[in-house]
A and B are shown apart, each in its own frame.
Chain A
Amino acid sequence: MGLRVALTGNHAVAYAVKLADPDVIAAYPITPQTSIVEKLAELIDKGELRARMIRVESEHSALAACFGAAVAGARTFTATSSQGLLYMHEFVHWVSRARIPVVMAIVSRTINTPWNIWPDHSDFVDQRDAGWVMSYAMDSQEAFDLTLQAFKVSEDPSVYLPVMVGLEGFIIGHTAMPVEIPDENIVKEWLGERRQPYVIDGSEPLGLGGLTFPEDTEDMFYHIQEAMNNAKNVIKKVDEEYGKLFGRKYGGLVSCYNCIDAKYIAISMGAWSGDLVEAVDKLREEGYPVGALRIRYYRPFPAEDIWEIVRNAKGIVVFDRAISFGAWGQIYTDLVAGFSLYTNKLPQMANIVAGIAGVNVISEDFYGILKSFIDKSESGTLERNYFAWIKVRR
């Protein structure tokens, strides 16, 4: 059966990749991702992993090599962060539009300049329009589970899209916690052999990505949108299967804490959701009817699932760890747009942008924000929805 070991988030990802038994890994070093590929290189060196590793000269080439290998029939993996992710951005789109399964870990770090290696979600959410299924972990165990599940989701014939798994650098990436590693043979049987919609390996003359007229191209892109919709059910199915086999079920695209009877719900993604839960506990002790909802999958965006949970809530506070300059937090933007398809009367809402570029946000901060929001809402002094960037020294 499974094994319990203390692992950092990055090493948890590496061990999940090992269990998925990839054929080709290509990567380029960048802080804070590097310890994933260092661990994989070590596992290959020790003969514990049979994959070939291509030590490419850039992130652009890292995803390019993974793309080529995947098209030629290989299960592939790469990992990157921040500037590296931006440098390969052209290929991020290319892979999904080719409908070729690839798995990539994003160890989040803010976008520069100035040089800064601390985490926020800006590199990750920047990829939101690229056609990848995007999941985000809260801790090392979930980083492990999401990485392993990513291969299953990516290679599902009704999906056939690349999958990225996000986790915050340092906070998760470099902090150890006990991680349960499932039995290799059960994983192997569950994951099955590599599946993809086509393969280019010289067995027949086949071309990929040639010049295409607008109408055909639009059809192809429409099918990517359809595949994203299919992915919602596949993710839930995979979560169920995984729960039955390995004992950990997260609830699908979102995960809830004390939401059922909550009049107020706080929405977040990533590591700080743990601090948010602490704040919710404290508020509950004081009698506040509040719950926390965590986004596990950012694409496909689970607006419908979230609406089902929050539809009877009076107020919602959305915490974004990234900012679309000139607009708002990206999760808030998506939520409001998504909700508008299910209601013509939005609940009371606030968007809090915080934790940018690694600024520490602790449970006391969440506590204060939520308490003030709820007090205003209950006393009828919350005149309209609002946006705030907190902890900034103006």
Chain B
Amino acid sequence: MSRLDVRKTYKLYIGGKFPRSESGRSYEVVSATGEFLANAAMGSRKDVRDAVVAARGALAGWSGTTAYNRGQVLYRVAEVLEGRRAQFALEVASSEGLSARAANAVVDAAIDRVVWYAGWTDKIAQVLGNLNPVAGPFFNVSAPEPTGVVGILAPQSSSLLGLVSVIAPVIASGNTAVVVTSASRPLPAVTLSEVLATSDVPGGVVNIITAQTAEVATWLAAHRDVNAIDLTGVAGADGVDWAALEAEAAGNLKRVHRPTLLDGVPVEPDWTADPGLTRIRAFVETKTVWHPKGL
């Protein structure tokens, strides 16, 4: 008799722990070909609010680490991802309906994307900051700082490469994140949370909620303790009105990273393209400090 495998319970990732949804709800996740894969936790408003509390709590510590340290932690994430390539390849293949070969290429690209951002952490201030030659006897310098707690609607389609491509630039500069995963392809995100939990990323820095995007996005966009929101995941999300989310975000003047628009309609970006600095720039604030010079 063949051995019966031990299945994983897919749960949320909040504050470094793996709770079920406080709502007790779950939903069926199926593969690209419609086969049952798992019951994922269906995150609720309360889960989102708990995640924001965790992200806020982790912000001082994470933004206070040195850029060098954040780079090493991100690199560690890539290392642990690499060690679990096979598992991710299987999940990506079943979620996205890819061949094994194509899924492997996606996992490779995702690992390399994390490495790319790991190398950015201690260059961001140099590239986005500078001295300002003011007309007077003053030392004057402008440098980027993390915006704070960032809400991320992760892409609906690209369940791993797209996911790391929206998380890594946010945490590279020292922000903390509350991520709402792809609604229909959430499993690689849950597995990524296990990677994060074992990569020296402090609990609360990244919080991952599997949920129906349309249900929880509004709570995230309206939350007064969230400083910025990435609306990438509205593209292809059922029943999501991104204009309404942006309008909610205006309540506390969140920085809004709009979805990519093609003829006015949100589309998922090409995740294989050079990411550039756009996503890093979107979630930093420029601080300018003046001090007199003199004897």
Q: Do the two chains belong together in a single complex?
A: no
Interface of A toward B, CB cutoff 8 Å: none
Interface of B toward A, CB cutoff 8 Å: none
